[in-house]
Structure 1
């Protein structure tokens, strides 16, 4: 928390309370991620959708009740989060009883060493990627905070608006992952390539649409969330600048799913770690000349580079290894 150089003791205490509660029950978040991966990869994405939606709706209901009605404020937000996560876990467990996929699992049995080795080999690169991405984002957030409260507010609201592209891309990435892994395992390489092309077409069109929306309609969109006239120009700058990278971010996420489906998690991790890390020096240099807009350009430019390189890498890899 000290990383963000917060001056208000009340905010610091609220942040500590939130972390104590949510991290104390973080095991449910871990379990939910495991269930999501297993069910999606096995083609049961509908079950994942129902469980996740149940948690989201419950969180939407509990947040205002606990925060405002019960006057628990930040603690209420934390409690709403963990209660929703616990319910999602229970829904997953209910589904697990119905699916043959989990019938032979014995939780107390000794795990297979070969399975552990394979899981670590596949899971270690993206886990490092995710952790470093979070650390880099925290440093970027600290840099943004140096430009004042308006910049922080713009980034928080803008990133929520921007999520319409990457959250949809995440969903298609999961489907591409499952489709790729199933057909790759069956040695049906032609279907792997066709599936990737089809997925990229859908995700590419969505990314192009969101890019156009953010670039050409930033004012009406941002004003739906913040009405203050002194903040609106900053919000417009954010959406326009990030708008240029939405297409590339979407195809990067989709291609990551294809690589993961092949069991090749290292290439997307390398690209993400290298060029996400590059955001820090880029943001420092560009912000010196462009102010906080330099930070937005650093994020956007790095996303463009990541998308271009990862897609090129997959195309070259598939030509060498996936010729039917």
Structure 2
């Protein structure tokens, strides 16, 4: 356990954000590696895997539901110096992760076909997406165990072990991807099925390695079978924080699904270009997201320790860091968007769509960093409903105009990207007002312990 209630806030944020950024980069590389090799299979394969990959927003929503509540409550417990409660939260998160994994397997194999038929641009794209999901679903189910363990460590101020495990899994995925997708060394290429299988095997190894860390090295929280009996009151505490945060990511899935549906009339090349552009965007968001992911632990421990000024300082510092780290990727996407897309495809139509998307959407980058940091502060304060409200507002202001525009004569893809920029501006203004109100309400009543 690392005490984040003393010492430099800036140092704590940096020391946590750097390993988190590495872990998130490693996680993103799962998709980038798959995308690189799948791109060699043609536009339908790219579009299918990219469309299927939007399911990750559902899984991220569910893992957020689990992980956010775990981080916040364990951080509060650490701040109060309440180790028994931290252990209870961790072990109950393992129970919830097992339930979520079972539901993911059932939904993945039961609904993959229906989902892909609703968003696929053509039959080949739909089939590629279904095949990918069938082989990647076990990996999606195992994500919950990784999140439960990683979130518990983050709540205690420890992030390096998760980074190391993620690095191991991505190296394994990089080795397996060409073997399984392209058939290197075996002469039996599996195509998009190999992409899903490579990720699933790699995630399984990651779960095993991180479990061994808890058994052999972790001392503050650990596996305790006597704490695995379902505790509904503990679940209520976790879900009260986690459900709205998970809802934010679920709404992001709806946002992406609306986009894929709207652009489906432009064909597989357009979906492939948007898919690659979205993956690049997710990658360049990593530094700001890493800063935001450090906020719940740093601010959360100080909420538990009843240090309101340190909580406010955490938010101000994180906003500054997030703005700085998003400036460079914004300029890069303004300067060389086509080059970024060309790393994954040499199809002129795909590059044109992806580059156009990045050139416009990059104006959102700094604002998105502010939104991420604000969401992290809501988690630290133990009330994530305002973040859900801000995201829900953005979905409405985006989806309604997007669907209406798609029905108009002369509709072009860049119209959609400009709508997205406008809605993020509105979301940023709203979330800043909400986070200021929540800090005034929560921290004003947070008198230090005598």
TM-score (norm 2): 0.67
Alignment deviations for residues 263-295 of structure 1 (CA, whole Å, 9 cap, x no partner): 111111111122124321122234435511122
Alignment deviations for residues 29-79 of structure 1 (CA, whole Å, 9 cap, x no partner): 111121222111211111111112222221122111111123111221111
- Are the structure 2 counterparts of residues 308 and 119 from structure 1 closer, same or farther at C-alpha, using a change threshold of 3 Å? same
Would you say the 8 A contact 1:249–1:303 is kept in 2? yes
Would you say the 8 A contact 2:287–2:326 is kept in 1? no
Unmatched 5+ residue regions in structure 1?
none
Would you say the 8 A contact 1:176–1:257 is kept in 2? yes
What's the counterpart of residue 63 of structure 1? 177
Would you say the 8 A contact 1:184–1:192 is kept in 2? yes
- 2:357 paired residue among 216, 221, 238: 238
1:37 is the counterpart of 2:155: no
What's the counterpart of residue 315 of structure 1? 436
* Greater alpha carbon shift after TM alignment, 21-30 vs 81-90: 21-30
Shift of 1:261: 1.1
Unmatched 5+ residue regions in structure 2?
1-115
- 1:129 paired residue among 248, 254, 261: 248
- Are the structure 2 counterparts of residues 239 and 25 from structure 1 closer, same or farther at C-alpha, using a change threshold of 3 Å? closer
- 2:265 paired residue among 135, 143, 146: 146
Alpha-carbon distance between aligned partners in 1 of 2:278 and 2:423, rounded to the nearest angstrom: 16
Alpha-carbon distance between aligned partners in 2 of 1:265 and 1:38, rounded to the nearest angstrom: 18
What's the counterpart of residue 23 of structure 1? 137
Other structure's SS at 2:229 match? coil
- Are the structure 2 counterparts of residues 220 and 67 from structure 1 closer, same or farther at C-alpha, using a change threshold of 3 Å? closer
Alpha-carbon distance between aligned partners in 1 of 2:412 and 2:148, rounded to the nearest angstrom: 41
Alpha-carbon distance between aligned partners in 2 of 1:81 and 1:231, rounded to the nearest angstrom: 25
Other structure's SS at 1:110 match? coil
Would you say the 8 A contact 1:165–1:250 is kept in 2? no
Alignment deviations for residues 134-188 of structure 1 (CA, whole Å, 9 cap, x no partner): 1331121121121223321221121122123322222111111110110111001
Aligned 1:205-216 pairs, distance under 5 A? 205-216=324-335
Shift of 1:232: 4.2
What's the counterpart of residue 255 of structure 1? 374
Would you say the 8 A contact 2:139–2:201 is kept in 1? no
Shift of 1:233: 4.0
Alpha-carbon distance between aligned partners in 2 of 1:133 and 1:214, rounded to the nearest angstrom: 22
* Greater alpha carbon shift after TM alignment, 119-128 vs 98-107: 98-107
1:202 is the counterpart of 2:317: no
Aligned 1:72-151 pairs, distance under 5 A? 72-97=190-215, 98-103=217-222, 105-106=224-225, 109-151=228-270
What's the counterpart of residue 69 of structure 2? none
- Are the structure 2 counterparts of residues 2 and 228 from structure 1 closer, same or farther at C-alpha, using a change threshold of 3 Å? closer
- 1:4 paired residue among 97, 100, 119: 119
Other structure's SS at 1:111 match? coil
Alpha-carbon distance between aligned partners in 1 of 2:125 and 2:281, rounded to the nearest angstrom: 26
What's the counterpart of residue 299 of structure 1? 420
1:180 is the counterpart of 2:313: no
Would you say the 8 A contact 2:368–2:428 is kept in 1? yes
CA RMSD of aligned residues (A): 2.2
Alpha-carbon distance between aligned partners in 1 of 2:339 and 2:257, rounded to the nearest angstrom: 29
Would you say the 8 A contact 1:283–1:297 is kept in 2? no
Higher relative contact order (CA 8 A, sep 6+): 2
Would you say the 8 A contact 2:136–2:200 is kept in 1? yes
Shift of 1:216: 3.3
Alpha-carbon distance between aligned partners in 2 of 1:122 and 1:280, rounded to the nearest angstrom: 26
Would you say the 8 A contact 2:137–2:200 is kept in 1? no
- Are the structure 2 counterparts of residues 216 and 171 from structure 1 closer, same or farther at C-alpha, using a change threshold of 3 Å? same
Alpha-carbon distance between aligned partners in 1 of 2:311 and 2:403, rounded to the nearest angstrom: 41
